[in-house]
Amino acid sequence: MSKPYVLGVDIGGTNTVFGIVDARGQVIASDSIKTRKHANFDDYIEELHSGVMHLLHANDAEDKIQGIGIGAPNANYYTGEIQNPPNLPWGPIIPLAEKVSKAFGGIPVAITNDANAAALGEMTYGAARGMKDFIMITLGTGVGSGIVVNGQLVYGQDGNAGELGHLVVKRNNGRVCGCGRTGCLEAYCSATGVARTAREFLEIRTEPSTLRNLQIEDITSKDVYDAAVAGDKIAKDIFEYTGTLLGQAFADMVVFSSPQAIILFGGLAKSGDLLMRPLKEAFENSLMPIFRGKTKIILSELKESDAAVLGASALGWEAKYKYEVPSRTLPAVEEEA
Amino acid sequence: MSKPYVLGVDIGGTNTVFGIVDARGQVIASDSIKTRKHANFDDYIEELHSGVMHLLHANDAEDKIQGIGIGAPNANYYTGEIQNPPNLPWGPIIPLAEKVSKAFGGIPVAITNDANAAALGEMTYGAARGMKDFIMITLGTGVGSGIVVNGQLVYGQDGNAGELGHLVVKRNNGRVCGCGRTGCLEAYCSATGVARTAREFLEIRTEPSTLRNLQIEDITSKDVYDAAVAGDKIAKDIFEYTGTLLGQAFADMVVFSSPQAIILFGGLAKSGDLLMRPLKEAFENSLMPIFRGKTKIILSELKESDAAVLGASALGWEAKYKYEVPSRTLPAVEEEA
C-alpha cells in the first residue's frame, strides 16, 4: 500500500531543511533545524526526528509517509553513509540512512549527494520530466553533477560517479583544486572559481575596473556579476572566460553520454546571457559534429527555495533501505503539548 | 521458446565475418565474405544471406538462431541504420537491421557500433563478466569506446554516446582529428596517432633512432613498437607519451562513471609494459583521490580472432527488431547442391 507523501530532507552545512512532498511535487509543508548545533550525531538525529514529527502532526501526515529521501554532501547511495564530509561535525563516516530509518520506526530511507538529488528532482518534477538521458550541473560554491543514463542515476561501482566538477580542463599550469589536484573545472567555473578568475584578471590586466575598488581578496562572484551588469569590461570578460570553459567541458560530457539536455542549477546559473551566451557558443563550437544541435542547455525549472527538498524527496519514492525495528518496544515519539 | 544459438556478424571495412555462437560464448563455426565486393547494398545482403545459410546448413543450425547481432562502424542501435560510414560503399544511410531481418525471414536483429559490440562481448563472455560498470576502449586505427552503466550500454539520446576517442586531451595547439576538430584523444593514442607522434618526435628531437632509417611518412605504430622493444630511446618515449595521455584521459572517464574496470582491446593494447606502465602510472597519479586504487585497467579476455563476432553475437541474445514478413511467400532460400 503506497502512501501519499514522501519526506525530503536536505542537509546543508548551515541548515537542514525538511518538507512533506506529494506525488505532484507540491511541498505541503516544510521546516528546518540548524545542522551544526549538536556535536553528537545522535542528538542531531533526535532534533531532526522531533522537528519532523511536529511537522507531520501539524499536517495530519504521521502515517502517510512512503519513504524518506535525503540529500547531503558526500552522501553515498549504496552505503547509506555520509563519507568524509568537509563541513559536518560528526566524524568521517556517518551512518545516516540507518540512524534516520531507526529514528522513524523503520520507514525506508535513501540518501544521495546533493547534485544527484537535484538531478532526481529535475527528472521527477522539473525540466527533465520525460527525459531518460541528461546531466545536471550545479554551479554553486563548487561544481556538482548528477548524470542520468537510461532513466537511472549513474552511481558507478562505489556511489561516487558523477564528479564532473573534477574533469580536468587545464592540463598544464592549472589552478589548485580542493580535491588536491590541479586544473579541475570546479577551480574555474564555480562561484569561488569566478572569484579566483577575478583576482587573476585584475592582477594581470591593466584596464580600469570598478572591481579594483574592492579588497581583492574579498571579491565574490556576486561582485563580478554586479560589475558586469553595470558594464564593467573586465567583469564581462570574466564571465566570457567562465562560460567558454564550461561550454568546452560540456562538449566533452556529450561524447560520454549524448544527453538530451544539460540542466544548470545554482547561483551562478542565474547570470543570464553574461554566462549563457559564451557558454552556448563555446559548447556548439566544441561539439563533435555528430552531436551538434542535439543537446539543449537549459536552466532548472524548480523553485530555488524548494529545489533541495524536492530533489531529496524524489529519492523517497524509491527508498528501499529499511532499518529493522527490533522486537522490543521503541521509545515513544516525543510530542510537545 | 528460446533457441540455442545466435549469429554474430562483424562488418569491417575489408571483411564481413559471421559466426554461430552458443550461450557459453563458443564460436561453433564461422566464415566470411568480402565487404566491399558489391557496390549495391542488396547484392551484399544477398551474398551475406547465402553465406550464412550455408554455414547454418553445414552445422544443422537453420532453425536454432535466436537472434542476429551485428557490429559495424557507425551502426546505430536505435535506428538500425549505419550512418555516414567512412569506409563502406552503400551510401550515407544504410538500413542494415531491416534488410538483414527481412533476408532472414524475420529473425530479430540488433546492430551497434564495433566498440559497443566489443563491450557487450566482454560483458557476456570476457573480462567484464559480472561487472555492471565498466568502459571498453578499443585502440585500433582509431580509439573507440563502449560504456556500460548499471549493466546497460550507454547509447544516449541518439545512439551515439560513448565516443571517448573524441575527448579533447589537448585544448590548445592540438592535432587535427578525423572528426573535424583538434586535440582529440584519438589523434594521439590510436595506432595512427602513435605514428603521428613518431613523426613529430623525429622532427623535433635530435637523438639517433632506428626509426630514422624508415621513410618518415611510412612509419607505423608497429615500427615504433618493434623499435621500442629493441631498446630505441625515442620509440620508448613515444609509448611513454601515448600511455601518459591515455592514463590522464582515463582519469577523466572515471569521474564520469566510476567504473570497476577500463578494458583495453586492439592492436596497440598488446604493447605490454611499454604502454601499460606509463598508462597505469599516469592514471593513478591523475585520479581524483576518492577514486584511487578502485578502477582496474585490464586487457580483453576474448581471443582476438573471435572477439568481433562474439561481441556482435552478444547483442543477438537481446535483439528485438523484427522485420514483419509480409503474408506473401518469400523467395525460397537458395542452396547449392
Tell me the average pLDDT across A39-59: 97
Q: At what angle do helices B221-229 and B273-286 cross, to 10 degrees?
A: 100
Of residues B264, B311, B316, the one with CA closest to residue B123: B311
Distance CA A145, CA A117 (A): 10
Of residues B26, B45, B27, B25, the one with CA closest to residue B35: B45
Average pLDDT score over chain B:
94
Calculate what percentage of chain B has a pLDDT beyond 90: 89
Q: Do A168 and B257 touch (CB under 8 A)?
A: no
What is the predicted pLDDT for the residue at A325?
A: 61
| Backbone angles phi and psi of A333, in degrees to 5 | -65, 130
Q: Is B150 on the interface with A (CB under 8 A)?
A: yes
Distance CA B83, CA B87 (A): 11
Cβ contact B166:B177 at 8 Å: yes
Calculate what percentage of chain A has a pLDDT beyond 90: 89
pLDDT band at A321 (very low <50, low <70, confident <90, very high): confident
Q: Is A248 on the interface with B (CB under 8 A)?
A: yes
Give the chain B residue whose CA is nearest to the CA of A158. Answer: B258
Angle of CA points A153, A156, A159, to nearest 5° = 80
Of residues A128, A151, A146, the one with CA closest to residue A295: A128
Q: Residue A323: is its pLDDT beyond 80?
A: no
Q: Do A290 and B160 touch (CB under 8 A)?
A: yes
Q: Residue B1: is its pLDDT beyond 90?
A: no
Q: Do B256 and A180 touch (CB under 8 A)?
A: no
Q: Count Cα atoms within 13 angstroms, Cβ side, for A212.
A: 12
pLDDT in tens, A124-173: 999 999 999 999 999 999 999 999 999 999 999 999 999 999 999 999 99
pLDDT band at A337 (very low <50, low <70, confident <90, very high): very low
Distance CA B234, CA B222 (A): 14
Distance CA A251, CA B8 (A): 34
pLDDT band at A336 (very low <50, low <70, confident <90, very high): very low
What is the predicted pLDDT for the residue at B260?
A: 98
Which chain B residues touch A148 with a CB distance below 8 Å?
none
The dihedral sign for the CA sequence A266, A268, A272, A276: negative
B317 Cβ contact partners less than 8 Å away, ≥ 6 residues apart: B6, B23, B66, B67, B69, B124
In order, the DSSP letters of A321-333 are B-----SSPPPPP
Q: Any idea which of A57-66, A328-337, B7-16, B96-105 has the lowest mean pLDDT?
A: A328-337
| Backbone angles phi and psi of A214, in degrees to 5 | -95, 155
B76 Cβ contact partners less than 8 Å away, ≥ 6 residues apart: B82, B83, B111, B112, B113, B158, B159, B160
Q: Is B253 on the interface with A (CB under 8 A)?
A: yes
Q: Is A154 on the interface with B (CB under 8 A)?
A: yes
Distance from the Cα of B196 to chain A's closest Cα (Å) equals: 21
What is the predicted pLDDT for the residue at B334?
A: 47
Distance from the Cα of A87 to chain B's closest Cα (Å) equals: 17
Tell me, what's the ipTM?
A: 0.91
Other Cβ atoms within 10 Å of A299 Cβ, number: 15
Of residues B251, B53, B227, B78, the one with CA closest to residue B155: B78
Distance from the Cα of A263 to chain B's closest Cα (Å) equals: 15
Distance CA A27, CA A111 (A): 19
In order, the DSSP letters of A63-106 are T-EEEEEEE-TTB-TTT--EES-SS-SS-SEE-HHHHHHHHTTT
Q: Is B152 on the interface with A (CB under 8 A)?
A: yes
pLDDT in tens, B223-264: 999 999 999 999 999 999 999 999 999 999 999 999 999 999
